[in-house]
């Protein structure tokens, strides 16, 4: 069965977040209402709801996206919801999940309040001047595999496996960098703005005062800054089926290894160790035969469904 939500050649994608308080007693109500609106309009993706705010990426018909955003903006404190849009010809998500979490982006620092403690927002048009200043220390708050495929010139790469590792990195290596370089300010960035916003609140809680972050993240920078003036190098990893995007938010060259969920570029796909849907150079030695067989069967089913014009993963059949 084909999925009518993605029958159009153009699907609107909205990456969104906002740090604003949601009462503990309201979480289930907010979750259920957002799930109902998404289902009613054929919108798919993931939304995370927590007492500190809301975060997620959704995709679907334009009217459906606007209906969901309208529902979110009607929540107290969410009128200024941060949203970044893109268009894609393929469905970047195959199901809709609205989940209640302890944090909308997991750092493991429960006492932070980014809604009140975040650092200075820097617009994309002002970012180049800030990070080109030799007295600025630029820190990438994303994960190691994200930094491998794209980053700003001169940025420090913590090479963390997850955002939860960032506090430990800063308290050891990051603090040592501040002591060594003695920068006048710190500038941090991430994909859409949420991780660097929370990171600035964390650094301020650690006693670092002059902290800045890229408003709207790399995605807004790639959307608004002319490629000729850009200090970004490579592609930006995104957590959906587009895998990576470049300037103008045009889909990048990367695909996703279904064995380890890591991005794979053209050279990686040309490797004799790369098997579509099964493994890549990164994970080929970490999967046993049973896993490889299971992944291969899954890929066979996906390809069969594709040839039939059907949705394989996340498909909802009528009761």
- Residues involved in catalysis: 190
In the three-class reduction of DSSP (H, G, I as helix; E, B as strand; rest coil), residue 281 is classed as coil
Distances (CA, A) of 134 to 95, 185, 187: 45, 10, 12
Alpha carbon 130 to its chain centroid, in Å, reads: 23
Give the other-Cβ count within 10 Å of 98's Cβ. 23
In the three-class reduction of DSSP (H, G, I as helix; E, B as strand; rest coil), residue 154 is classed as coil
Which helix H or strand E contains 132, and what residues bound it?
A: helix 124-132
How many Cα atoms within 13 Å fall on the side-chain side of residue 161?
1
Q: How far apart are CA 218 and CA 42, in angstroms?
A: 28
């Amino acid at each position: 069965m084909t999925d009518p939500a993605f029958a159009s050649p153009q699907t609107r994608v909205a990456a969104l977040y906002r740090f604003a308080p949601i009462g503990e007693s309201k979480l289930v109500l907010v979750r259920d209402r957002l799930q109902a609106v998404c289902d009613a309009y054929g919108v798919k993706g993931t939304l995370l709801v927590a007492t500190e705010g809301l975060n997620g990426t959704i995709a679907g018909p334009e009217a459906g996206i606007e209906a969901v955003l309208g529902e979110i903006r009607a929540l107290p404190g969410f009128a200024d919801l941060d949203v970044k849009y893109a268009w894609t010809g393929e469905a970047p998500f195959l199901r809709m999940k609205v989940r209640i979490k302890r944090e909308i982006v997991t750092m493991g620092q429960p006492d932070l309040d980014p809604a009140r403690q975040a650092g200075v927002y820097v617009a994309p048009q002002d970012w180049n001047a800030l990070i080109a200043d030799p007295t600025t220390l630029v820190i990438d708050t994303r994960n190691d595999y994200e930094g491998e495929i794209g980053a700003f010139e001169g940025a420090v790469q913590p090479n963390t496996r997850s955002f939860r590792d960032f506090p430990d990195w800063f308290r050891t290596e990051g603090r040592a960098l501040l002591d060594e370089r003695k920068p006048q300010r710190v500038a941090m960035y991430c994909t859409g703005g949420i991780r660097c916003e929370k990171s600035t609140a964390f650094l301020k809680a650690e006693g670092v005062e002059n902290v800045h972050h890229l408003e709207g993240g790399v995605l807004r920078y790639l959307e608004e800054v002319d490629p000729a003036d850009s200090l970004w190098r490579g592609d930006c990893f995104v957590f959906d089926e587009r895998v990576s995007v470049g300037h103008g938010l045009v889909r990048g060259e990367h695909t996703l290894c279904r064995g380890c969920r890591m991005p794979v570029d053209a050279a990686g796909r040309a490797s004799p160790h790369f098997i579509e849907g099964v493994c890549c150079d990164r994970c080929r030695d970490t999967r046993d035969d049973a896993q490889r067989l299971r992944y291969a069967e899954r890929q066979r089913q996906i390809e069969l469904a594709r040839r039939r014009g059907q949705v394989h993963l996340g498909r909802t059949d009528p009761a």
